[in-house]
Each structure stands twice: as C-alpha cells, then as structure tokens.
Amino acid sequence: KSGEKKVVGWTISPSEKDKPYNPTPRKTHVPVQAKSKTLPLCDIYGKKSTITSTGGSVNLDLTGAPQYLTLGK
C-alpha cells in the first residue's frame, strides 16, 4: 500500500563454492518500530503470513528469496 514502510530481507551465498541461487538459510533479528506487535509478511510469490515482534524486533529466517515485512505508516 502506498506510504507504508517496508523492510525487505534475503541472503546471498557466502562463497563462490555455494550455488548462487541456493544460499544457506540464515536466522537474523531485525529491530522494528511498529504500532502493532503482529506484522504482515509476504514472500516472493505473494504468499501472506504474519510475524510477531518481541522486544522491539522480529526474527526472520532468510533465504535467497526476498521477504517483505510491512511496518505500517
């Protein structure tokens, strides 16, 4: 939606030995400032889900495919 803040996350291969389109999944936490603790998450194919922020951050499992986290306006 127009005017909404989003964070997009994915990972890449750490070395040339890895396949460029099949990187090792990584866990990361992203600090967020949002009014709601439950945030919309959308994958590269448009599949929608939600993720819960805890202590001002969300934990994401990153792969080679972008994930779109909506923070709101």
pLDDT tens-digit series, residues 21-48: 667 788 999 999 877 899 999 999 999 9
Torsion, CA 24, CA 29, CA 39, CA 51, rounded to 10: 60
What does the pLDDT read at residue 59? 94
pLDDT of 20: 56
Amino acid at 57: S
Is pLDDT of 16 > 90? no
Q: Which of 48, 53, 4 lies closest to 29 in space, CA to CA?
A: 53
- Give mean pLDDT, residues 44-63: 92
Residue 45 burial (C-beta neighbours within 10 Å; 0-12, 13-18, 19+):
exposed
Give the pLDDT band (50/70/90) at residue 14. Answer: low
DSSP code for 54: B
